[in-house]
Chain A
């Protein structure tokens, strides 16, 4: 068994896992400059929450809540895990709470600003690619977006943390509170489901 995925070798390296690359600060010193923490981690938390709840307004609110809670309880952060993992834990708790409330409030139209897969096309920057290539890219993004929607909550979380946030199994286990074996099982199932959707692409 090997811990490294062939995908990682091909993906561009992510900045850090808990350490801001330039300064190589420890998580405890890093958290002191909270404005900088927000600059670095806000996009990560936002896209993770967005891909989890699929509602732009809710994603922004939950991200705001995540950083507000992190700021309030920053003194209780002992640096046992990386700052990235800690923030993702807080964000995931927010997502879980939101999903639980949404289940209870099923009669309400919660997803007023829900993101449809067609809207995602507008997110893609135009880097001067041809219309044909653009169509293909749109289709790929939409396929993965729709495939992750059909995953169970845990499978989606594990998939997003692994392939969107590039976290390793240990970090995912820390963030989700699952064992590494459980993470592997959820990841395997998630990859199998997403692969099935991708293979159905023309």
Chain B
């Protein structure tokens, strides 16, 4: 292989996907090797930095890890607690509200019922009074008059005549 490796061929070489021929060329050609070295140097530095950092971090012991996890699982974030409290208050509040509301409704309905009854009584009384006043004869006399044919009309006429006569006498 006389020509240089293409950009993708070098990428494949770095990724370990090149052919033996490409690899051989890469190792022998200074220009292609430079491309590899540039990548390798940066990645190695990065790797070294990450490795060095991670190894400087303190590794906890297992009991610390489990303790920490348990504590973490126990201590929920404040927002979550607030939501839980709100939900609980809501769930408890609904039945209490319903419970408080029901007697009030009953009292109201009883009062309304009583007021309605009072009005009805008044109306009924007034109707009775009106009926009583509108009768041409007293109640006991009506039964007697019912026995007579055309009793009421005749009586009414007779009363009218008597009334006229009476007025005249006076």
- Chain A residues within 8 Å of B, Cβ to Cβ: 1-8, 10-11, 34-35, 38-39, 42-44, 46-47, 50-51, 61, 64-65, 67-68, 71, 120, 123-125, 137, 140-141, 143-145, 162-164, 169, 184, 187-188, 191-192, 194-195, 198-199, 201
B5 CB, min distance to chain A CBs, angstroms? 12
Which listed residue, B8, B56, B60, B72, touches A192 by the CB 8 Å rule? B8
Whether A144 lies near B16 (C-beta < 8 A) is no
Contact (A198, B38) CB under 8 Å given A34-B62, A64-B68, A188-B15: yes
Contact (A198, B39) CB under 8 Å given A39-B59, A141-B49, A192-B11: yes
Contact (A71, B66) CB under 8 Å given A163-B47, A201-B42: yes
A182 CB, min distance to chain B CBs, angstroms? 13
Name which residue of chain A comes closest to B26, CB basis.
Answer: A6
Whether A123 lies near B42 (C-beta < 8 A) is no
**B169 at interface, CB cutoff 8 A:** no
- Residues of B within 8 Å of A47, CB to CB, are 50-51, 53-54
B35 CB, min distance to chain A CBs, angstroms? 8
| A-facing residues in B1-42 (Cβ within 8 Å) | 7-8, 10-20, 23, 26-27, 36, 38-42
Name which residue of chain B comes closest to A60, CB basis.
Answer: B57
**B65 at interface, CB cutoff 8 A:** yes
Whether B16 lies near A43 (C-beta < 8 A) is no
Whether A2 lies near B69 (C-beta < 8 A) is no
Contact (A187, B15) CB under 8 Å given A43-B54, A123-B52, A141-B45: yes
- Residues of A within 8 Å of B54, CB to CB, are 43-44, 46-47, 50
- Residues of B within 8 Å of A145, CB to CB, are 46
- Residues of B within 8 Å of A120, CB to CB, are 49
Task: Tell me whether chain B's interface is mostly helix, strand or loop, or mixed.
Answer: helix
B92 CB, min distance to chain A CBs, angstroms? 29
Name which residue of chain B comes closest to A3, CB basis.
Answer: B16
- Measured CA separation A138–B68 after assembly (Å): 34
Whether B23 lies near A38 (C-beta < 8 A) is no
A114 CB, min distance to chain B CBs, angstroms? 16
Whether B13 lies near A199 (C-beta < 8 A) is no
- Measured CA separation A61–B68 after assembly (Å): 10
**B153 at interface, CB cutoff 8 A:** no
Whether A1 lies near B17 (C-beta < 8 A) is yes
Which listed residue, A42, A68, A188, touches B12 by the CB 8 Å rule? A188
- Residues of A within 8 Å of B66, CB to CB, are 68, 71
**B44 at interface, CB cutoff 8 A:** yes
Q: Which 4 A-B pairs have the closest CB atoms?
A: A5-B16, A47-B54, A43-B54, A144-B46
**B61 at interface, CB cutoff 8 A:** yes
Residue from the set A6, A38, A61, A164 with the largest chain B CB neighbour count within 10 Å:
A6
- Residues of A within 8 Å of B47, CB to CB, are 11, 163-164
Interface string of B95-129 (1 = CB under 8 A from A): 00000000000000000000000000000000000
